[in-house]
Structure 1
Amino acid sequence: MLIIIGHPDIEYSLVNKRWIEEVKKFPEKFTVHELYQSYPDGKIDVEKEQALVEVQGSLIWQFPVYWFNCPPLMKQWFDDVLTYGWAYGSRGTQLKDRKIGLAVSMGSLEQDYQAPYDLTAVLRPYEMTLHYVKANYQGAFSLFGANTDASLVTITPQAINQSAADFIEFLNKFYNMLNHEQGY
């Protein structure tokens, strides 16, 4: 399973950094691909990215939600990599039936994401993208209150560690479901 991470400042992250640390304990199951480390100049190698996706059975797109969207390089990845003829269109079948999920963190509290602007609404463009490319959307793992500004931090280290354990559980269910479907 490929986990594509779009966090622009991972060293200062409280949550995404911790999730990555936990995921890296299971290299036999999960491949971590950090966009900002791979492309510090912002120039995405589309063929390399497409080849990386092609060899993986499933994907997780992991990023912090900024202003109800993903960080710029993650958005650029979607724009550059999910091309006509590869991801969609009459011959674009590389994501068809592929299981793809999201892992997102929000700096704000859950109460700040109320209908009609709840997390489901915020993530709808990603769900729509996955529908458009005929992928099989697997839902989202999320955590609120992950702000790194010391005056705004609302999450405890214990809650961050618990979220990392919960994230691994989310990924393992996903991973085990895939292996069951493939007959492993």
Structure 2
Amino acid sequence: MKKILILFAHPGYNRSHANKALLQALRKVEGIHVHDLYQRYPNMFIDVAYEQQLLQEHDIIVFQHPLYWYSAPAIIKEWMDQVLEYGFAFGPEGHALKGKLLLSAITTGGSQESYTSHGHNRRAVIEYLLPFRQTAWLCGMRYLPPFVLYSYHTIQDAKLLRDTAQEYRRLLIALRDGTLSADSLQRATYLTDLIEELP
């Protein structure tokens, strides 16, 4: 069983019903550790040694956050700048993350249709996540298809939100247990493309 580290970042978590639902679905799931970066580091002073130790103890790393200005909340960038050091995460001697898996779990205010070439945002979400894919490559990690929850601020149906959160839970458990094939992960654009393949 692989160990999963959720690096969670939401500066307005108290107002977030989407991310609350996603995290609620992960409560008490064996092998999944949720690490709330804003809660741990309210002043943005990152404990680099602790974070590097956490990374080494886990096999799958998940950046979970809302998509802010086509990127991540500020603490994610600060975390990456501080923790993914030369000699640890990359460079001739930086092999600490080699072979680990990296995944983005994103919530967006915009609809799926708005994240197309003819939509309001002009690009697919996956294109805005290119820096994370490149980071994975530089660190010798494998970047997995992202999980995306669209239109989070317009979802009024509590059951729909719970169902989506349960899909997230099932997909992470499948990654933890290795029940999604490498071929399936290679051909999927988004992690939710594989929901029908789950047992």
Shared fold, TM over 0.5: yes
Aligned to 2:132: 126
Query: Which residue of 1 is the match for residue 27 of structure 2?
Result: 24
**Does residue 54 of structure 1 match 2:40?**
no
The runs of 5 or more residues in structure 1 that have no matched partner are 148-152
* Displaced runs of 4 or more, over 6 A: none
Q: CA deviation at 1:103?
A: 0.7
Q: Counterpart amino acid of 1:37?
A: Q
User: How far did 1:25 drift?
Assistant: 2.6
Aligned length: 174
Give the structure 1 partner of residue 146 of structure 2: 140
Which residue of 86, 97, 100 corresponds with 1:98?
A: 100
Percent identical? 29
Report Cα offsets for 1:75-99 as digits up to 9, x if no partner: 1111111110000000111111101
Structure 2 unaligned residues grouped into runs of 5+: 183-199
How many angstroms apart in 2 are the aligned matches of 1:8 and 1:164?
20
Q: CA deviation at 1:156?
A: 2.4
SS in 2 for 1:7: coil
* Partner residue, 2:72: 70
Match of 2:176 in 1: 175
CA contact (8 A) 1:145 1:155 kept: no
CA distance in 2, matches of 1:13, 1:46: 28
Q: Does 1:108 align with 2:107?
A: no
Q: Retained in 1: the 8 A contact 2:126–2:146?
A: no
Contact 2:155 2:161 in 1 (8 A): no
1:134 partner amino acid: G
- 1:150 aligned residue: none
Task: Report what 2:11 is aligned to.
Answer: 8
